[in-house]
């Protein structure tokens, strides 16, 4: 079984069980693409955007 398929199966298993999941790996390995596909019902927000990061830090409830 490919690593990508194994990760998808595990994400499917755990995404409804835990409120937070972490996916780590080397740069440019497809983590963001995988998560955007796997969790397409969620909005993607990058905290590399300094205005969004400031908003999330200063008012996390409104964020």
Q: Which domain holds residue 42?
A: 3-58
Residue 63 lies in a domain: no
Q: What is the pLDDT of residue 57?
A: 96
pLDDT above 90 (res 33): yes
Question: Contact 15/39 with Cβ under 8 angstroms?
Answer: yes
Residue 13 lies in a domain: yes
pLDDT above 70 (res 7): yes
Residue 40 lies in a domain: yes
Cβ atoms within 10 A of the Cβ of 26, count? 7
Residues 35-61 have pLDDT tens digits of 999 889 988 888 999 999 999 999 999
Tell me the three state secondary structure of residue 27: coil
Among candidate residues 49, 51, 18, the one with its CA nearest the CA of residue 59: 51
Residue with tokens 């755990």: 14
Residue 11 lies in a domain: yes
Average pLDDT, the chain: 90
**How many folded domains does the chain comprise?**
1
Among candidate residues 4, 2, 52, 39, the one with its CA nearest the CA of residue 25: 4
Residue 23 lies in a domain: yes
Residue 35 lies in a domain: yes
pTM across the whole model: 0.67
Residue 26 lies in a domain: yes
């Amino acid at each position: 079984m490919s690593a990508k398929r194994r990760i998808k199966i595990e994400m499917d298993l755990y995404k409804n069980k835990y409120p937070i999941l972490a996916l780590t790996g080397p740069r440019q390995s497809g983590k963001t693409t995988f998560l955007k596909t796997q969790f397409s019902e969620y909005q993607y927000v990058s905290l590399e955007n300094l205005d969004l990061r400031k908003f999330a830090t200063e008012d996390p409830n409104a964020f």
